[in-house]
Structure 1
Amino acid sequence: MRKSRWSGVVLICAALGVTATAGVVAVRRTGADGPVTSSVATVSAPTTPPQAQKTTPTPTPTPEPTGPTAKVPPLAAENRTVLQNPLYQVGRIPASKCKEPTSRATSVSKVRTYYTQFLSCLNKAWAQVMREAGFQFYPPQLQVYSGKPANQFCNLTSTAVYCNGIIYMNADYDLKNQRSYDPLWTRTTMAFLIAHEYGHHVQAMTGILEASHTRENHISGKDAQLVESRRRELQASCLSGVYLGADKQFFPARGTWLQKWRWTVRNRGDEWNPQRTHGHKNNHSRWSRAGFEAADPAACNTFAVKAASVS
């Protein structure tokens, strides 16, 4: 993780891929409520001083503490947000009842159509989940681009980016995969990536994304910070699996398509990258498939497990 040259923004650079592809998550870190003012009751001073005491008062002994102090542990709110979030209590999420988009990655416009239709289905499923969990739902924006991106604020140097409520997808990556590799792998990769970035949007709506960034900023040591990053990224991949698992009968996710998706998530690790931000391919497969099999966000509490499970 590094702080960018833009004030108030934290960028998380992610490396996830069979090849050296990357994703970035950026979140604006600003106070939501602005400055807080408080009023204090004022007592006027008496016009004449009270009469002096003629006897020396007996000092009152300081009482011994009889219970725990009232100090709030550091990051208590953030820890509750990531560990005990209402998202984990909603149960199996509803199926969007959407089929896989029929557009194929043969042109930028068709890539855009695929992601636009997929995003509509993701919104349909997750909107109900957010309401049941007690959070406000708002759909993310989508920008599918080719060539050099115009938005430099979000540092769009990767194939898939979630930044300030916008999902950015680089169509050039999909076009290259369609031309050079297995077209079915291209489809499973596209489905995984858009749902993974949407997982970050779910984290943003539930407060998990911001709380995890805060925890990471207060952790001492690079290795420990990378563990926190992997918890966040593996949860997004798990939530990607949750959506697909809920909709598998309608998508449909079965047969050869499902076999290729399992291969895809089993081979998207960061073990080749010195910046271990996303997790080894074995753990990536484990969390993605756990989400798929459960179709329940409760299966995605990556913050409650030992570091070895998110290595």
Structure 2
Amino acid sequence: MGNVRWGRAALICTALALAAGSGVVAARLADPGRGISAVVPTASPTAVTSEPSIAPSAPAGVPETPTPTADPMATNNRIVLQSKLYKVGKIPASRCKEPAARATSLAKVKLYYGQFLECLNKAWAPVMREAGFPFTAPKLVVYAGRSANTACDLTSTAVYCDGTIYMSADYDLKNQATYDPLWTRTTMAFLIAHEYGHHVQSMAGILQASHTRESYLSNSTLALLESRRRELQASCLSGVYLGADKQFFPARGSWLLKWKWTVRNRGDEWNPQRTHGNKTNHSRWSRAGFDAADPAACNTFAAKPATVS
């Protein structure tokens, strides 16, 4: 998609449209007149052709939300590049096992994602509070037949929008019945943790700041680079959770091999928009998060363009 529309109130959504063995994520701002407030430029955006200078860190305890400054981008750059999220260290294990439900019915898909979400909340809540951010648990909507009642544009398999994670059970049910059941499980685990990664970004202000930065960029190539930084970070944060909980999940043996195959074969090469990152970089960031179990491994905004291509 690549185009960002700004209004008085904007709804920040990130969507994950996935097919077997490949995927593309579209990050977008819709404008239904309600939702997360976004920073709206009061003057014509200034073109940015390179990374602007980084502003000093805010005092401890000050929420990292964009505020007007002499340089309208300084605060947003600091939020994405110097977030306190990168300084919390390894996240604690939730000590949760993989949910036992399998994708054989809508009810069981709901059970899998619901139990997984509780484990994600358990792991991330103390991390966000330690970093000085208020923690809020996201809502979860698991639906089939595109029957979800929402203002979000649900054209994708998985969407994080306005504090809610939307998961299409149709995708999981088809995968379970048609493809490898183990691949279905690793994909479900990746999906819910990736969308939760966007929720982590939102709580830290990174999601909103990144969308603002994107709106100021001078051309579509740079805007797509910003989108890839945002999406690859969410995949890295997905790996962080799994790496923290790997002994209890457990993420080892054939499950871990299939997960590594899953993240290695999910890229946006086929999409002319290039919003998500190629397969090589998607694997790079997902596995970096898993190996470190630490959000510090996920600062895609400071990475060289070649590593977020």
Aligned to 2:262: 264
SS at match of 1:162: strand
Matches within 5 A, 1:198-209: 198-209=196-207
The offset of 1:222, in angstroms, is 0.4
Q: Give the AA of the match of 2:241.
A: Y
Contact 1:11–1:26 (Cα < 8 Å) also in 2: yes
Matches within 5 A, 1:60-139: 72-139=70-137
| In the alignment, structure 1 residue 30 sits paired with structure 2 residue 27 | no
Deviations 1:229-279 (A, max 9, x none): 000000000000000000000000000000000000000000011110000
Counterparts of 1:163 and 1:137 in 2: how far apart (Å)?
17
Give the stretch that moved more between structures: 252-261 or 150-159.
Answer: 150-159
Deviations 1:50-79 (A, max 9, x none): xxxxxxxxxxxxxxxxxxxxx833400000
Give the stretch that moved more between structures: 10-19 or 115-124.
Answer: 10-19
The offset of 1:87, in angstroms, is 0.2
SS at match of 2:140: strand
Counterparts of 1:169 and 1:9 in 2: how far apart (Å)?
18
Q: Give the AA of the match of 2:223.
A: Q
TM-score (norm 1): 0.83
Counterparts of 1:12 and 1:198 in 2: how far apart (Å)?
11
Q: Give the AA of the match of 1:94.
A: P
Counterparts of 1:196 and 1:10 in 2: how far apart (Å)?
16
SS at match of 1:2: coil
Contact 2:193–2:241 (Cα < 8 Å) also in 1: yes
Counterparts of 2:208 and 2:85 in 1: how far apart (Å)?
15
Matches within 5 A, 1:153-172: 153-172=151-170
SS at match of 2:202: helix
SS at match of 1:125: helix
Aligned to 1:41: none
Contact 2:36–2:162 (Cα < 8 Å) also in 1: no
Matches within 5 A, 1:182-261: 182-261=180-259
Counterparts of 1:104 and 1:29 in 2: how far apart (Å)?
34
For structure 2, the 5+ residue unaligned runs are: 30-34, 40-68
Aligned to 1:8: 10
SS at match of 2:248: coil
Aligned to 1:140: 138
Contact 1:290–1:299 (Cα < 8 Å) also in 2: yes
Relative to 1, partners in 2 of residues 1:171 and 1:14: Cα closer, same or farther, differing over 3 Å?
closer
The offset of 1:157, in angstroms, is 1.1
Relative to 1, partners in 2 of residues 1:2 and 1:88: Cα closer, same or farther, differing over 3 Å?
same
For structure 1, the 5+ residue unaligned runs are: 33-70
Deviations 1:55-114 (A, max 9, x none): xxxxxxxxxxxxxxxx83340000000000000000000000000000000000000000
Relative to 1, partners in 2 of residues 1:233 and 1:31: Cα closer, same or farther, differing over 3 Å?
closer
Relative to 1, partners in 2 of residues 1:145 and 1:4: Cα closer, same or farther, differing over 3 Å?
farther
Counterparts of 2:240 and 2:299 in 1: how far apart (Å)?
12
Deviations 1:264-310 (A, max 9, x none): 00000000111100000000000000000000000000000111110
- The structure with the largest alpha-carbon Rg is 1
SS at match of 1:278: coil
Counterparts of 1:144 and 1:31 in 2: how far apart (Å)?
26
**RMSD of equivalent CA atoms:** 2.0
Relative to 1, partners in 2 of residues 1:23 and 1:115: Cα closer, same or farther, differing over 3 Å?
farther
Aligned to 1:286: 284
How many residue pairs get matched?
273
Counterparts of 2:117 and 2:15 in 1: how far apart (Å)?
23
Q: Give the AA of the match of 1:142.
A: L
Relative to 1, partners in 2 of residues 1:10 and 1:99: Cα closer, same or farther, differing over 3 Å?
closer
The offset of 1:149, in angstroms, is 2.7
Relative to 1, partners in 2 of residues 1:307 and 1:279: Cα closer, same or farther, differing over 3 Å?
same
TM-score (norm 2): 0.84
SS at match of 1:155: coil
Relative to 1, partners in 2 of residues 1:274 and 1:267: Cα closer, same or farther, differing over 3 Å?
same
What fraction of aligned residue pairs are identical, expressed as a percent? 68
Counterparts of 2:16 and 2:249 in 1: how far apart (Å)?
28
The offset of 1:13, in angstroms, is 5.2
Deviations 1:161-192 (A, max 9, x none): 00000000000000000011000000000000
SS at match of 2:194: helix
